[in-house]
Amino acid sequence: MNRSIEEFMDNSFQWTAELELLRTIISNTGLNEELKWGCPCYTFNNANIAILGGFKNYCALSFFKGALLADTEKLLIQQTQNVHAARQLRFTSVSEINKCEQIITSYLFEAIEIEKSGLKIEVEHDNELHITPEFYEKVNSDKEFELAFDMLTPGRKRGYHFYFSDAKNPNTRRARIEKSTARILMGKGLNDCICGWSKKMPSCDGSHKMLKNQ
């Protein structure tokens, strides 16, 4: 038994029953379960297949190459237009999961076959960065922020611009920029570790969540 995953489940108060049921269904596929990015992740021959997560309004089973699934039941959800490969199955109750058990299982086995085949998702990169007016407001009023952002790698800059521009509400965009300011001043990307405890440096693996519970 993976103690780290059990700790994750202990802290998933809102969706404990739903996530446990999804874990049971996934366990019948033979996928390996391990903790990645602070969540139960399922792999085949060390390749990521799917990951579980609990959110405010739903829990989700996300497929890393979900865009390649046939999705015959039309249930998969693309989180945002900037998410090219991953797709989610979202649930809000145990009964909903029970009704979809066969579908969930078939999608998991299809995802495994896709991984076996070596299929990859060809991503058409949008070379034009969508820079929001709120970002310009920030750099014009905070020269330290502007300098720190200019020092980031192109990939980190792109990640932030996608994150900022993905919000439709100007106030939400401003809030995201302010929330990210400390990371940017540290020279960190959106998904970089800032606690120093990650075992997947420089990426965050969710270790900070464990520290909060100690």
Selection from 125, 192, 190, 145 nearest residue 164 by Cα: 190
Three-state DSSP at 20 gives: helix
Mean pLDDT calculated for residue range 192-207? 60
C-alpha span between 145 and 92 (Å, rounded): 40
Q: Which residues pair with 197 in a beta bridge?
A: none
Could you give all domains of the chain from N- to C-terminal order, each with its CATH number? 3-117 (3.90.1150.200), 126-214 (no CATH)
- Which H or E run contains 143? helix 143-151
pLDDT of residue 68: 95
The answer to whether residue 62 scores a pLDDT higher than 90 is yes
pLDDT of residue 63: 96
Mean pLDDT calculated for residue range 163-167? 89
C-alpha span between 208 and 198 (Å, rounded): 8
Mean pLDDT calculated for residue range 121-130? 62
Phi, psi of 110 (to 5 degrees): -65, -40
Number of neighbours of residue 111 by Cβ within 10 angstroms: 25
pLDDT band at 1 (very low <50, low <70, confident <90, very high): very low
Q: Percent of the chain, pLDDT > 70?
A: 82
pLDDT of residue 9: 75
Mean pLDDT calculated for residue range 181-190? 91
C-alpha span between 130 and 139 (Å, rounded): 15
Which of 9-13, 95-99, 153-157 comes out lowest in average pLDDT?
9-13
- Cα distance from N-terminal residue to C-terminal residue, the chain: 20
Phi, psi of 163 (to 5 degrees): -65, -45
Three-state DSSP at 57 gives: coil
Which letter does DSSP use for residue 73 in this model?
Answer: T
Beginning with the edge strand found earlier in the chain, give each strand of the sheet holding 87-91 in spatial order: 32-36, 39-44, 47-54, 59-63, 87-91
C-alpha span between 14 and 32 (Å, rounded): 25
pLDDT band at 190 (very low <50, low <70, confident <90, very high): confident
Mean pLDDT calculated for residue range 113-131? 76
